[in-house]
Amino acid sequence: MAERQQVRDNNSNEEDEESPEPETSQSRRRFKGSNMSFVEIVEMMDILKRADYDGKYGLYSNPNVRKAKIMTKVVKSLQKNFAVRRFKEQLRKRWSNLKLTEQDQYRRIKRVLQKSDVVDVVEEETNFTSASAHILIGEIMVCNWELEKIKENINDIEKRLNNIIDVLGRI
């Protein structure tokens, strides 16, 4: 009976750790990890490959500092483009899993990056946040306003041309 109570207590503690709300533990917050979408992985891998994260193309002084800076770029890019918050440790682990245990997906992403079809892949699974939708709506409104100004300018030029033609016709 005491063992069952202990198991229940352990299970309730595990459920608390997996809650999506951030928990404050000393100086760090914990967030529930979620699976990365394919486009997020493509974005991460593109940045890591372009920045030579693995150091295949040269010897670098302070490689750990360099890798930390590159991962910071990845974190910022994912937050900016996909509105998801990922930690560097989570991304490092995902990167190593891709290379070591998920070679099929790694090769697939590599082919996508080599063919420069990243834009097509991103368009397949686009998820807009309300913030990005507001930005797009604002840009559309600005474009519409500029288009109206251009139409007005065209109308003004047509009127001037008609006036010039009328004046020339009288002469």
Model pLDDT for residues 31-52, shown as the tens digit of each residue: 445 678 888 888 888 888 888 8
Which of 62, 57, 42 has the alpha carbon at shortest distance from 123?
Answer: 42
Q: What's the average model confidence in pLDDT over 10-27?
A: 44
Q: What pLDDT shows up at residue 108? A: 83
For the residues 140-161, what does the mean pLDDT come to?
A: 91
The secondary structure element, H or E, covering residue 28 is strand 28-30
**Does 153 fall in a domain?**
yes
Do 95 and 40 sit in the same domain of this protein? Answer: yes
pLDDT score of 6 more than 50: no
Task: Quote the pLDDT of residue 7.
Answer: 43
Judge if 65 and 102 occupy the same domain. Answer: yes
> Averaged over 81-100, what is the pLDDT?
87
**20 is a domain residue:** no
Same domain, 134 and 93: no
Residues paired with 28 in a beta bridge: 25
Task: Check pLDDT > 50 for residue 13.
Answer: no
Q: What count of Cα atoms within 13 Å lies in the side-chain half-sphere of residue 16? A: 9
Is 147 part of a structural domain of the chain?
yes
Is there a domain that residue 82 lies in? yes
Residues 93 and 151 placed together within one structural domain of the fold: no
Pick the residue with more confidence: 108 or 4? 108
Task: Give 108-149 pLDDT, tens digit per residue.
Answer: 888 877 775 444 444 444 555 667 777 777 788 888 888 999
**One domain, residues 45 and 108:** yes
Alpha-carbon distance of 6 to 101, in angstroms, equals: 36
Tell how far CA 63 is from the center of its chain. Answer: 25
For residue 23, what pLDDT is reported?
45
Q: How far apart are CA 97 and CA 92, in angstroms?
A: 9
Assess if residue 170 is contained within a domain: yes
To the nearest 5 percent, what fractions of the chain are helix, strand and coil? Answer: 70, 5, 25
**Is 12 part of any domain?**
no
- Indicate the number of domains in the chain: 2
> Which residue range is the domain that position 139 belongs to?
128-171
* DSSP single-letter state for residue 24: E
Could you tell me if 62 and 101 lie in one domain? Answer: yes
Give yes or no for residue 27 having a pLDDT over 70.
no
Q: Examine the domain organization and report whether 115 and 99 are in the same domain.
A: yes
Please tell me whether residue 83 adopts helix, strand or coil conformation: coil
Residues 53, 67 contacting (CB under 8 angstroms)? yes
- The reply to whether 118 and 155 lie within a common domain is no
Q: Which of 88, 33, 29, 40 lies closest to 64, judged by CA? A: 88
